[in-house]
Amino acid sequence: MEIILVEDVEGVGQKGALVNVNDFSSREARILKPQDVLATGKYRFRYYPTPQLPHGWDAGVLFEETRRTLFCSDLFHQNGNVEPLATASLMDRCQQVLSAYQLGPLANYVPFTANTETILKGLASLNAKTLAVMHGSSFAGDCGTAFHELAWVMKKVLDRPSYEFPIGAGNLEQSA
């Protein structure tokens, strides 16, 4: 797998530019709108906003159109010492991480929202050949099916209450 180095690209999503990047840069960042393209000469990266997926309202992914590689951020997160590139399904490992994290201090690090399944179906429709995963093995194979499987796993693990507010109504009356 070739690592693609990109120099002098000045693009960021709209929310990231408005609430963060422009506060710390010497000049305003180029704001990427949905499906804007960053061309580096040999490669073309298309930007897709993915609000709240995997994290934050400013989340987004890049799809490298030349080789059809989708840079997935924390989607398909796996732990451990794993192979750099897998051709077998990643779902068991992804489900294991999501389930384990829901039981500890990292619970809800990936929110499940009313838009999650729509976003994952949209990413599946890109027909990527490779998923460049931030944590764990990247994946080469049927990436569309991988996104449909991830939608099922995320719904199963994340689409349920996992938080209890620490102060009950009775405690509020006592402190008044």
State whether residue 124 is helix, strand or coil: helix
Please, are residues 61 and 73 in contact by the beta-carbon 8 Å criterion?
yes
Q: Is residue 127 part of a domain?
A: yes
DSSP characters over 79-144: -SS--SEE-S--HHHHHHHHHHHHTSTTTTSS---TTHHHHHHHHHTT--SEEE-SSS-EEES-HH
Q: Has residue 170 been placed in a domain? A: no
Torsion of CA 42, 47, 50, 56, to 10 degrees: 90
Strand partners, 86: 139
Q: Rounded to the nearest 5°, which phi and psi values hold at 127?
A: 55, 45
**Structure tokens, 15:** 């929310």
Q: Which two tokens stand for residue 146?
A: 């991988």
The DSSP bridge partners found for residue 69 are 64, 130
Domain that holds residue 83: 11-160
Does 144 reside within a domain? yes
What pLDDT does 165 receive?
86
Q: Per the confidence metrics, is the pTM higher than 0.85?
A: no
- What's phi and psi for 116, nearest 5 deg? -55, -50
In the chain, the number of structural domains is: 1
Whether residue 175 lies inside any domain: the answer is no
Residue 5 maps to a domain: no
Domain assignment present for residue 6? The answer is: no
Does residue 145 lie within any of the structural domains?
yes
CA–centroid distance for 64 within its chain: 15
- Amino acid type, 90: L
CATH number at residue 138: 3.60.15.10
In a domain, 2, yes or no: no
pLDDT tens-place values along the chain, 176 residues long = 443 333 333 555 555 555 566 566 676 777 778 998 989 899 999 999 999 999 888 899 999 999 999 999 999 999 999 999 999 999 999 999 999 999 999 999 999 999 999 999 999 999 999 999 999 999 999 999 999 999 999 999 999 988 888 886 665 555 55
State the pLDDT at residue 5: 36
